[in-house]
């Protein structure tokens, strides 16, 4: 290629780049609000604060998501969910709850973070409706919040996933910032993240909604936009007004809401019928531990006793330790000692200590207590450092028992 040809090629490339860098406004190709609304399949909401975009989708009762028909949520006895959600027995009608999820300009919250898309789902008869309020630019936020407030005024409860720490806090902040009254001041808030962690943290590496979808609900998304990419995708939309990615974000948001419905159904199944509905033994153990910590000891007994039949030795021993504590609390020392003895044979230091306490204080058998403490100390020397608090405490117990033995 001669010099003239090369210069001509460079000139053409320069012209092409200049055309590509022209903003949509200057090129005359900027999309109107009507075009954006049409591409999103929605309509414009107009109120005293301006306008925003609303996209609506309805799902009939037999729609299947996460292995459950949506209608099954209407059959949930919410009064039995008090274990996870204190105060829920005051509002047991699922049609009084909004399922809420937001997509935001930042993942960590903060003053500058805005919810540009707010999805709300609710039951209307046998239909589950999802309304998505979208602001195509920042000046549409007041209108979006005003429209949301009108809907909030008809409901008394919320179902979210991490909403107490993020979504609801962010919205209340934005309402205050825009000086718009939030019609739902103190809703009954069902945040599904907390029971999910309590039930499945021992089995799953992550209790994110996407992890629960795949591992608990067996729901797998295809072509989904990752949540971490959503803020940047919205900023790009503000520049080029291309709605392709916004449609993906809206689908992501709808799937989040549908998964919350299915997850609520799954949790209610475990609570209402644990022996038939718990798929994994870890679920039954977690439920027993929750009952134990909530003071519902009869229910804890039933769940934990079943777990002691497990072939999983780690799970079986964890259940046995909790049961031994329960029997000790009830004054049933023969049963407690039975569990402690079995656990001590499997080198459980904590159970050895409990046995030593029992023989020292209940049986007054100092010699037996001393033998058990000596065995525990020998085991600690092998398995742990002698520079630990547990070793020091056990050594003090040993020294005290030796003094008692000498006085006999």
Same domain, 286 and 226: no
Same domain, 258 and 389: no
Q: What is the pLDDT of residue 108?
A: 76
Q: Note the pLDDT tens digit of each residue in 378-399.
A: 999 998 878 889 999 999 999 9
Is residue 27 included in any domain, yes or no?
no
CATH number at residue 251: 3.30.420.10
Same domain, 122 and 149: yes
Q: Of all residues in the chain, what percent carry a pLDDT higher than 70?
A: 92
Same domain, 175 and 294: no
CA pair distance 182, 69, nearest whole angstrom: 32
CATH number at residue 340: 1.25.40.10
Same domain, 254 and 320: no
Q: What is the pLDDT of residue 4?
A: 52
Same domain, 233 and 122: yes
Is residue 194 included in any domain, yes or no?
yes
Q: Note the pLDDT tens digit of each residue in 322-372.
A: 999 999 999 999 999 999 999 999 999 999 999 999 999 999 999 999 999
Residue 346 sits at φ, ψ, to 5 deg, of -100, 25
Q: What is the average pLDDT across 313-321?
A: 95
Same domain, 364 and 403: yes
Same domain, 92 and 213: yes
Q: Note the pLDDT tens digit of each residue in 294-313.
A: 999 999 999 999 999 999 99
Token couple for 383: 């398995």
66, 255 Cβ separation under 8 angstroms:
no
Which of 223, 248, 272 is the C-terminal boundary of a domain? 272
Question: What is the torsion angle, in degrees rounded to the nearest 10, for the CA atoms of residue 113, residue 164, residue 63 and residue 80?
Answer: 180
Q: Note the pLDDT tens digit of each residue in 243-280.
A: 999 999 999 999 999 999 999 999 999 999 999 999 99
Distant-in-sequence, close-in-space partners of 229: CB < 8 Å, separation ≥ 6: none
Same domain, 211 and 336: no
292-299 CB contacts, 8 Å cutoff, 24+ apart: 292/322, 292/326, 294/83, 296/83, 297/326, 297/329, 297/330
Q: Domain containing 356: what range?
A: 276-407
* Overall domain count for the chain: 2
Q: What is the pLDDT of residue 184?
A: 87
pTM of the model: 0.87
- Largest distance between two CA atoms of the chain: 112
Same domain, 140 and 210: yes
Is residue 234 included in any domain, yes or no?
yes
């Amino acid at each position: 290629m001669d010099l003239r040809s090369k210069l001509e090629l460079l000139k053409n490339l320069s012209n092409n780049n200049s055309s590509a860098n022209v903003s949509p406004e200057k090129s005359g190709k900027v999309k109107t609000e009507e075009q954006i609304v049409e591409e999103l399949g929605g309509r414009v909401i107009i109120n005293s604060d301006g306008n925003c975009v609303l996209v609506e989708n309805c799902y009939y009762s037999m729609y299947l998501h996460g292995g459950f028909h949506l209608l099954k949520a209407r059959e949930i006895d919410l009064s039995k969910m008090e274990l996870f959600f204190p105060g829920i027995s005051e509002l047991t009608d699922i049609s009084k709850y909004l399922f809420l999820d937001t997509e935001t300009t930042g993942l960590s919250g903060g003053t500058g973070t805005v919810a540009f898309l707010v999805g709300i789902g609710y039951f209307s008869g046998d239909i589950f409706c999802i309304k998505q309020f979208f602001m195509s630019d920042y000046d549409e936020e007041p209108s979006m919040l005003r429209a949301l407030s009108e809907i909030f005024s008809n409901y008394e409860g919320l179902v979210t996933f991490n909403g107490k720490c993020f979504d609801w806090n962010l919205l209340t902040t934005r309402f205050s910032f825009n000086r718009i009254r939030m019609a739902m001041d103190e809703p009954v808030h069902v945040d599904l993240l907390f029971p999910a962690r309590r039930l499945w943290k021992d089995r799953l590496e992550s209790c994110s909604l996407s992890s629960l979808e795949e591992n608990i609900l067996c729901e797998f998304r295809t072509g989904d936009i990752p949540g971490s990419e959503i803020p940047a995708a919205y900023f790009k939309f503000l520049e080029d007004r291309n709605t392709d990615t916004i449609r993906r974000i809206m689908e992501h948001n709808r799937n989040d809401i549908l998964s919350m419905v299915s997850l609520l159904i799954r949790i209610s199944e475990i609570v209402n019928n644990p022996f038939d509905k718990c798929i994994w033994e870890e679920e039954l153990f977690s439920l027993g531990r929750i009952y134990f910590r909530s003071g519902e000891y009869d229910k804890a007994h039933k769940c934990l006793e079943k777990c002691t039949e497990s072939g999983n030795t780690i799970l079986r021993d964890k259940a046995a330790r909790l049961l031994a504590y329960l029997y000790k609390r009830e004054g049933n020392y023969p049963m407690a000692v039975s569990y402690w003895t079995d656990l001590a044979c499997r080198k459980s230091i904590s159970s050895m200590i409990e046995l030593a306490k029992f023989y020292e204080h209940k049986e007054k058998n100092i010699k037996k207590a001393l033998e058990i403490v000596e065995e525990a100390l020998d085991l600690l020397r092998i398995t742990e450092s002698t520079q630990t608090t547990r070793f020091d405490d056990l050594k003090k117990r040993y020294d005290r028992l030796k003094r008692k033995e000498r006085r006999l």
